[in-house]
Amino acid sequence: MFMKDIRLIIAGDDSYRMDIYNQLDGFYGIVRIAEASSPARTISVIERNIDMVDCVLLGFRDEELESMMDVIIKLAPKLDIFVAIDNPLKYKKWQKYKAKVCFYGKEISRILEFYKKKEAKKDLDKDEIKKSQFEIKFLEEDERAKIVDERIGDKLIGFSEKKVVTFGSLSGGVGKTTIVSAIALSITSVTNTEVVVLDLDSSKPYGDAIRYLGITGMDKRKAIEIKRNEGRLLTSYPSERTVVGWVDFSFADKKFNKQIVKDCLVKIKNNLFVLPPAEVMKDYDVLFGESGIGLIKNIIDVLRRNFPIVLIDTGSLLLDFVKAAVEESDELYFISTIDKNALDCLIDYQYHSRNRLPGTYRMSNILNKVPVNFKDNIESSLPEYTGGVTVSACFREDQKLYEDITGKLKVHYVGSTNSQFTGELVKLIKIILRTDFGGSKTNDINLGQSQMHKGLFGKLRKG
């Protein structure tokens, strides 16, 4: 008899999860906390339930498992990982991750057997102590999804005015947060320019931007916390470093300065900050109605006055507070894939419904995940159907990028990786900043790091 129920996450395709449900019918003592149908979804589920789960059962293909093991260990080093296998010889492959293997069809009995032995021992087994020590060491030594501060030169980019740029999409999964994060990391890694990312995606706690910028797991909760015993200059201070927490910000207080504003944001590095949406889903209620519109406009006003670049990551729903953000923006970029449904929705939205988004912003499109073998010149043809809205960037499918994002939470950006993706980023950043950085060729998508410094960011090295 167990002291407590075993709390389990089940991850695999529909067929695999159904097999596990059938196994659970014959056993007691296991509580299904959550389930996931893909590696990316599994990471998200573990992150949300990190304090409420004992183990995760993975039923994916080997290549999918290998892409996600490192990030699971980073997020939850004490989580017991069970991997379903069909060949006993494969157990060695998962030893380096300290994962427990179980045969297909016998997963639940294996999990029960493991915890039965664990509970029967009065003291921790020496092997379990070694396991814990190994995982802690692994977490410290392995490459984290943290951002290395590698600014080149000490010159700020010169802007005629500060800029607020909003990125939206009409559906999830189009790569919006990946692109926004990559732009922020590119600008702040190659220059000293200060950038803040405002995340308005209300579909999940914390949003995704903070995670893609390098703060994961329990570190997110620590990052948003504002200690009450610290001395403050403001009459009223945010309850936490989130959009919802800024309800308590003293916008009318004349005492606040740039340093106070930075203190109310999550710091990624010296020149990069992010403001996540909220920690708890129910807190999003404050964003709806007139009060939510006013809050977003006030936040953008404060950020615009204190940062040269404000990048806004919206969700896929056109809520009133999202409209307020667009109205306050200088530029609006729609990110879309090229599948028929997405393009049809994009064309209809931009051609017929632009009156739903008031403002004086400049509108443009970004196409993402375009198949490498896709030959049609959609960059030239799409504006004919969107009322003249041009295509500013066209990112091709990149398997390495996908694997790094889903498996390692590693975002590719200019200054860290030389690829088609970062080459297209160079072009897009030039368009966003509306400035010439030394005459780099916009059609050169294979800019090496030395070429890039001579071209796009060449002037930063000069006095």
Question: pLDDT by residue (tens digit) across 270-282?
Answer: 999 999 987 655 5
- Structure tokens that stand for 128 in this block: 């379990």
Residues 205 and 283 in one domain: yes
Residue where a domain stops, chosen among 107, 141, 175: 141
pTM score of the predicted model: 0.61
Q: Residue 267's pLDDT band (boundaries 50, 70, 90)?
A: very high
> Which among 117-121, 261-265, 370-374, 399-403 has the top mean pLDDT?
261-265
Residues 119 and 180 in one domain: no
Instruction: Report whether pLDDT(49) > 70.
Output: yes
Phi first, then psi, for residue 370 (nearest 5°) are -75, 125
Amino acid at 300: I
Residues 99 and 130 in one domain: yes
Residues 344 and 386 in one domain: yes
**Eight-state DSSP code of residue 89:** G
Residues 195 and 55 in one domain: no
Residue 152 lies in a domain: no
Q: What percent of the chain has pLDDT over 90?
A: 19
Residue 96 lies in a domain: yes
CA 136 to CA 130: how far, in whole Å? 10
Answer yes or no: are the C-beta atoms of 292 and 144 closer than 8 Å. Answer: no
Q: What pLDDT, on a 0 to 100 scale, did the predictor assign at position 304?
A: 92
Domains held by the chain: number: 2
Residues 261 and 168 in one domain: yes
Per residue in 297-349, pLDDT tens?
Answer: 999 999 998 999 999 998 777 777 888 888 888 888 988 888 877 777 777 66
Q: Calculate helix-pair angle for 14-24, 107-120, nearest 10 degrees.
A: 50
Residues 58 and 207 in one domain: no
Residues 211 and 268 in one domain: yes
Q: Residue for token digits 């984290």?
A: 144
Answer yes or no: are the C-beta atoms of 277 and 242 closer than 8 Å. Answer: yes
Residue 149 lies in a domain: no
- Structure tokens that stand for 57 in this block: 């059962």
Of 286-290, 329-333, 388-392, 418-422, least confident by mean pLDDT is: 286-290
Q: What pLDDT, on a 0 to 100 scale, did the predictor assign at position 179?
A: 94
Answer yes or no: are the C-beta atoms of 223 and 210 closer than 8 Å. Answer: yes
Residue 174 lies in a domain: yes
Q: Residue 94's pLDDT band (boundaries 50, 70, 90)?
A: confident
The mean per-residue pLDDT over the stretch 398-424 comes to 81
Q: What's the mean pLDDT when you consider all of the chain?
A: 76
CA 357 to CA 319: how far, in whole Å? 11
Residue 107 lies in a domain: yes
Residues 135 and 192 in one domain: no
Residue 60 domain boundaries = 6-141
**Any idea what the CATH number is for the domain that residue 33 is in?**
3.40.50.2300
Of 63-67, 135-139, 231-235, 347-351, least confident by mean pLDDT is: 135-139
Residue 146 lies in a domain: no
Q: What pLDDT, on a 0 to 100 scale, did the predictor assign at position 266?
A: 94
Residues 296 and 369 in one domain: yes
236 versus 398: the higher-pLDDT residue is 398
Residue 25 lies in a domain: yes
Residue where a domain stops, chosen among 111, 141, 171: 141
Of 179-188, 355-364, 425-434, least confident by mean pLDDT is: 355-364
> Which among 112-116, 255-259, 352-356 has the top mean pLDDT?
112-116
* Dihedral angle over CA of 233, 235, 240, 242, nearest 10: -100
Instruction: Report whether pLDDT(82) > 90.
Output: yes
Residue where a domain stops, chosen among 141, 173, 203: 141
Q: What pLDDT, on a 0 to 100 scale, did the predictor assign at position 194?
A: 93
CA 118 to CA 124: how far, in whole Å? 8
Answer yes or no: are the C-beta atoms of 199 and 313 closer than 8 Å. Answer: yes
171 versus 426: the higher-pLDDT residue is 426
**Any idea what the CATH number is for the domain that residue 330 is in?**
3.40.50.300
Residue 150 lies in a domain: no
Q: What pLDDT, on a 0 to 100 scale, did the predictor assign at position 270?
A: 92
Answer yes or no: are the C-beta atoms of 170 and 283 closer than 8 Å. Answer: no
Residues 99 and 205 in one domain: no
Residues 177 and 70 in one domain: no
Per residue in 114-140, pLDDT tens?
Answer: 888 887 764 455 554 444 444 433 333
Answer yes or no: are the C-beta atoms of 273 and 262 closer than 8 Å. Answer: yes
